[in-house]
Structure 1
Amino acid sequence: MAHNINFNERTGRYSFFSVQQKAWHDLGQIVEEYPTSGEAIEQAGLDYEVVKSPLFTKGSGVIETADGIEIGNSELEVPNYFANIRTDNNAVLGVVGKDYHIVQNREAFNFFDSIVGGGEGILYETAGVLGKGERIFITAKLPGYIRVGNGDDITEKYIFLTTSHDGSGSITAAFTPIRVVCQNTLNASLRNMTNVVRIKHTSGAKQRIENAHKIMGLANTLSDQLEDIFNEWAKVKATDQEVRKLIQLALCPNREALGHIKKGAEDELSTVFKNTVEDAFAYAMVSDSQQTETTKGTLFGAYNAVTGYFQNVRNYRNDEAKLQSIVMGGTAKSKSQKAFDLCTAFALDGAETLNLN
C-alpha cells in the first residue's frame, strides 16, 4: 500500500484524520472542527498502547533432561532484547533493547498540550498511524502568524511531531511554517540555530516531552526572525535570470554539476537535473502564489520557488516519501536550506552570489 496509512481492522477505518481538507491521500476521517487531543487520538486511530514483551527463539539439537538426552526443539529467551507489541491486536512493531523506553501515543500529545498550558491555543490539524502502528505523526497549528508585505501573504506556524515504536528513531519535533495561500511548506533552518528537536527513547524521555514549552520559545524566536527576513526579501528585486540561477544552484546535485554551472557548460549537465530546474522555474513564473506583490520578481519569490517545487510540483514514490523528504531532513529540506543560504547571501551581496557578474 503506497500511502502506508494503517488500516485498523478493529474499527474498519484508516488511521488518519485531517481538519476540513484531505491531505497527502484520500483516506481517513475529515472533520470540520478542530478536535481536542482526546478526540484527535480517537479520530486518528492512535488509541492503542504498546508494551515490551520478552523475545524468544527456537533452538534445536541435543537437549539434556532429567530423563537423559533427547533430540528436539527448545524455546530460548533472547537476552536484553524485546518485541514491541500493540496491545489491541498483538501486532509486533519491532525489536528493541533493554534500555528502550516506550512513549505511548497519548504521551506524545503532552508535547503539544504543555506548550501553552493544557492545549489552549493548540489546533490539531492532522495525525495518523503508518504501517502496523510502528510510526505515528501529529501536526498542530500554533497561535499567531508570519506576515509578509501588507499582511495578505500569511504563513501559519505549525509544529510537527513524529515518533516510532519499532526502535528505528527518536521522537522528533520540528517547527514548520506553512504558507497558507499555496499550502507551501517552508522548512527554513536558520544559521546557528536548530528548528528540530530529537528525544531518544531512553529514561527521562517522557519528562523531556512534557517540558516542551521550551520548544514554543524556539518556535516564536524562529517565526519572529523569519518574519523579519521574509519581509526584507520581499523588498529585494530579482530578475528572471537571477531567479533561474538561484534555483539551479539550490537544486544542484553534486560538485561536478556545480563546476559545469560555474563554467557555463550547461550541455554537460544531466537531462534529469535540467528538467528539474525547468520545472521549478516554470512554477516560479506561472504559479498563482508566485504572482503576488511579495513574490513576483522578488528574492522571497525565488526562495518560495524552490520550496514550492518540492511541495507542489515534484513527484514522489508515495506520500511517506514526500513526508520524509520535506519534513524529516530529506532532499527537499536540504535543498530548501541551500536556497535559504543563497537568498541570505544574495540579500547581502547581490548578483555576485550567483556568479552572474
Structure 2
Amino acid sequence: MGHNLAINPQTNEYSFFSRKEKAWHGLGTIVEDYPTSAEALRFAGLDYTVEKWPMYTYDPLGRTSDDQHVPEKFATVRTDNYAVLGTVGNDYEVVQNVDAFTFFDSIVGGEGILYETAGALGKGERIFITAKLPGYIRVGKDDFIEKYLFLTTSHDGFGSITAAFTPVRIVCNNTLNAAMRNHTTAIKIRHTANAKERLAVAHKLMGISHKMNDELSGIFNQWAKVRITDHEVKHLIQVAMVPNKETLDNLLSGKNDKLSTVYTNMVDKVYEYAMSAPSQQQETTAGTVFGAYNAVTGYFQNVRNYRDGEAKLQSLLDGTGKLRAQAAFNLCADFAQHLEVNAYINN
C-alpha cells in the first residue's frame, strides 16, 4: 500500500508527524508530548511557504528564443526547493501552511488545542492536520468519544480548503463521521482573495458548538439504550451499505441471488465487525442501535483496505465512507424514533 507522503529532497525526511505512534505506514516523526502549532509545523515538515510565479512558454526545439508570458496563469511554487505544485489563476490566493494552524489556534484561543497529526502529500501540494478539542462525549459508563477537527488544504489549484468536525472513539480509533441531519459538520472554502479571512472565522460556521456536542451525546446515549436484534442489525447494515438503487431494489424484493459478491462480502465484514466489539464497548454496542452505527463507521476506518492513506482520508472525509456513515446515521435515527413512537402509541 502506498503512502504518497511528501519527501523533502533536501533533508530526505517525510513530511509527517504523529503523536505517540506511527500512524501513517510507520513513517514520519514521532513525538511524545502534544506540540505547539509552531512545533507541529516544523515536525511535519510544513514550515515552507508557497508563492505564485508567472508562467512562460518556451520552445523545446529551439525554433525561437522568445519566451511568451501566459496571461492570467501562475505556477504555485515551494520557496524552499522550488518544486512546482500546480497551476492557478489570477484570483487564487495561497493560504500558507502556517495559516491553517493559526485557524486551529483561533478556535480555542490557543488554549487546549492538541495537535495529533499533520503532514503533506505528493510534493507538498496537499496538507492535512488533525487536532483534538478539549473534552469528550461520554456514552454509557466507559465509552468515550473524543472531539477532533480535521483540516485539509491544497496548493495545486484543485479542491477547496475543507475543515470538518470528526468524533473519534478512544478505544479503537474508530472515526464516527456523525454527519447529523440539519447540521454542518464540514465546510469548504474556496481559494479566493478572502480565503484567509474566511479561514480565520470558519469555526463559527461549523457544527462544533456546545449545542452539537450536547445533541451528539444525547443521541449516542439514547442509541446505546435502544435494543436491536441480530437480524435487525444485519438488515440495517445491508441497507446502509447499498451502493445504488438497483441493489436496494433487489435487497428489498428478496432477490439475494442478484446481489453482487462485492456488496455481500462487505456486508458480511461489517456484520462481523458489529459482532466482535472489544469488551470495553460491550455495554454500549452489543445488541444496540449505537453498536449497529458503530459497525458501519468502524468498517471504513479499521477494516476496509484502501489504495493508500490519501484514498482513506478522502473516503472518510468526503467519499464513500462518509456517505455510508451518513446513511447509517439516518437509518439508526429512524429506527430509534420508530421504536419510540410505537412505545408511545402502545402506552
**TM-score normalised by the shorter chain: which range applies?**
over 0.9
Q: How far 1:72 sits from its partner (Å)?
A: 2.9
Mapping for residues 127-206 of structure 1, pairs under 5 Å? 127-150=118-141, 152-206=142-196
Counterpart contact for 1:174–1:196, Cα < 8 Å: yes
Are the equivalent residues in 1 in contact too, given 2:274–2:295 (CA < 8 A)? Answer: yes
Residues 126/106 of structure 1: CA separation in 2 closer, same or farther (3 Å cut)? same
Matched position secondary structure for 1:243:
helix
Aligned twin of 1:243: 233
Aligned partner of 2:295 in structure 1 is: 305
* One-letter code aligned to 1:54: P
1:46 matched to 2:8? The reply is no
Question: What is the correspondence of 1:178-327 to structure 2 with a 5 Å cutoff?
Answer: 178-215=168-205, 218-288=208-278, 292-327=282-317
Secondary structure of the structure 2 residue equivalent to 1:109? helix
Equivalent in the alignment of 2:64: 72
Q: Encode CA deviations 1:243-285: one digit per residue, 9 max, x unaligned.
A: 0110000001111111111111111101111111001101111
Bigger radius of gyration among the two: 1
SS of 2:238 mapped into structure 1: helix
Deviations 1:123-179 (A, max 9, x none): 0000001000100000000001000012x1000000000100001011110000001
Q: CA deviation at 1:205?
A: 1.3
- Structure number with the higher strand fraction is 1
Asked whether the equivalents of residues 110 and 209 of structure 1 are also in contact (C-alpha less than 8 Å), the reply is no
Deviates more, 1:207-216 or 1:157-166: 207-216
RMSD: 2.0
Amino acid at match of 2:303: V
Report the Cα offset of residue 290 of structure 1.
8.1
1:341 aligns with 2:330: yes
Alpha-carbon spacing, 1:312–1:289, altered in 2? closer, same or farther (3 Å):
farther
TM-score normalised by structure 2 residue count: 0.94
Contact in 2 for aligned 1:60/1:74 (Cα 8 Å): no
Q: What is the identity, as a one-letter code, of the residue corresponding to 1:178?
A: V
TM-superposed CA distance for 1:350, in Å, is 3.9
Instruction: Identify the residue that residue 66 of structure 1 maps to in structure 2.
Output: none
Q: Which runs of 5+ in 2 are unaligned?
A: 343-347
Query: In 2, Cα distance between the equivalents of 1:247 and 1:60?
Result: 57
One-letter amino acid matched to 1:49: T
Letter paired with 1:94 = G
Compared CA separation, residues 33 and 137, structure 1 to 2 (3 A): same
Q: What displacement does 1:11 show? A: 2.1
2:203 and 2:226 map into 1 onto residues whose CA distance is: 35
Structure-2 separation of matches of 1:8 and 1:58: 28
| Unmatched 5+ stretches in structure 1 | 62-70
> Contact 1:173 / 1:196 at 8 angstroms: preserved in 2?
yes
CA distance in 1, matches of 2:54, 2:166: 39
Provide the aligned length of Structure 1 versus Structure 2: 342
Name the counterpart of 1:68: none
